[in-house]
């Protein structure tokens, strides 16, 4: 059974060795937390150009992926470490696909995309090579849009509803980061899913240039 293992909220904090602040340092919280169309109430989203927005309002990471990382890292792996809003147990993260839904009480989340790591993430991990390391692991977690807002709390059961169409996994999507020539058939498959609007626009433009 899938379960909401942790809800994690970030406060503005300085970025190590850089200027500016970040909300990536998320800590588990107790009690009810409201989920709106823009994300978790009280969570800091500071770089609006690359983070937040309705198509990546909530970021999920999965306990099975953390279990894998616990054998790879020299530090204790804890919920919120990778900056996720929700830590989810009982789901194989790499097999989560665009269009899958996670239903927590009245809240409905829909997967839109994978997470592309950035240098702020690397700074948070204290490893300038962590962007490459995270990408090579193929365990990106999942961004979601909020289909139905509401209140949630840690420990609640989750219903994982699989997308009924072609399964384009978050790992599939991550593997294409930085790839110049993407298989047209793959792009057509992805466009049949409720993929993130930026990816949709990119794939539509790429396909239009083929003709």
In the chain, the largest separation of any two C-alpha atoms, in whole Å, equals 54
* CB-CB contact of 117 with 33 (8 Å): no
Identify the three-state secondary structure at position 7: strand
Q: Cα separation of 5 and 28, whole Å?
A: 10
Asked if the model's pLDDT at residue 204 lies above 90, the reply is yes
Strand order across the beta sheet in which 150-152 lies = 39-40, 33-36, 150-152
Asked if the model's pLDDT at residue 169 lies above 90, the reply is yes
Strand partners, 169: 97
Mean per-residue pLDDT over the chain, rounded: 94
Q: pLDDT (tens digit, 9 = 90+) per residue, 84-115?
A: 999 999 999 999 999 999 999 999 999 999 99
H or E element in which residue 27 lies: strand 26-29
User: What pLDDT, on a 0 to 100 scale, did the predictor assign at position 44?
Assistant: 85
Q: Cα separation of 7 and 27, whole Å?
A: 8
User: What pLDDT, on a 0 to 100 scale, did the predictor assign at position 107?
Assistant: 98
User: What pLDDT, on a 0 to 100 scale, did the predictor assign at position 53?
Assistant: 87
DSSP string, 83-126: --SEEEESS-GGG-BTT-EEEETTEEEEEEEPPPP-HHHHHHHT
Asked if the model's pLDDT at residue 15 lies above 90, the reply is no
pLDDT band at 138 (very low <50, low <70, confident <90, very high): very high
User: What pLDDT, on a 0 to 100 scale, did the predictor assign at position 46?
Assistant: 66
Mean pLDDT along residues 172-196: 96
Which bin fits 161, alpha (ψ -120 to 50), beta or left (φ > 0)?
beta
The pLDDT > 70 percentage for the chain reads 97
The full set of domain ranges for the chain reads 2-180
End-to-end CA distance of the chain: 47
Q: pLDDT (tens digit, 9 = 90+) per residue, 55-81?
A: 999 999 999 999 999 999 988 999 999
User: What pLDDT, on a 0 to 100 scale, did the predictor assign at position 19?
Assistant: 72
CATH number of 2-180: 2.40.33.20
- pTM here is 0.95
Q: Cα separation of 200 and 87, whole Å?
A: 27
The pLDDT > 90 percentage for the chain reads 82
User: What pLDDT, on a 0 to 100 scale, did the predictor assign at position 50?
Assistant: 65
């Amino acid at each position: 059974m899938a379960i909401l293992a942790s809800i994690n909220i970030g406060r503005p904090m300085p970025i190590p060795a850089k200027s500016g602040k970040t909300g990536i340092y998320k800590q588990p919280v107790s009690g009810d937390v409201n989920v709106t169309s823009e994300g978790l109430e009280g969570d800091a989203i500071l770089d609006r150009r690359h983070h937040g927005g309705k198509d990546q309002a909530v970021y999920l990471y999965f306990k099975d992926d953390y279990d894998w990382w616990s054998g790879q890292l020299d530090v204790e792996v804890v919920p919120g470490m990778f900056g996720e809003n929700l830590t989810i147990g009982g789901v194989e993260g790499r097999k989560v696909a665009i269009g899958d839904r996670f239903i927590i009480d009245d809240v409905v989340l829909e997967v839109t995309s994978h997470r592309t790591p950035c240098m702020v993430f690397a700074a948070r991990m204290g490893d300038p090579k962590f962007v490459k390391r995270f990408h090579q692991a193929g365990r990106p977690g999942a961004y979601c849009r909020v289909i139905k807002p509401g209140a949630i709390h840690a420990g609640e059961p989750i219903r994982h509803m699989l997308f009924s169409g072609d399964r384009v996994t978050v790992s599939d999507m991550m593997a294409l980061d930085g790839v110049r020539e993407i298989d047209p058939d793959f792009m057509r498959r992805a466009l049949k899913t409720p993929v993130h609007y930026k990816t949709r626009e990119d794939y539509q433009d790429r396909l239009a240039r083929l003709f």
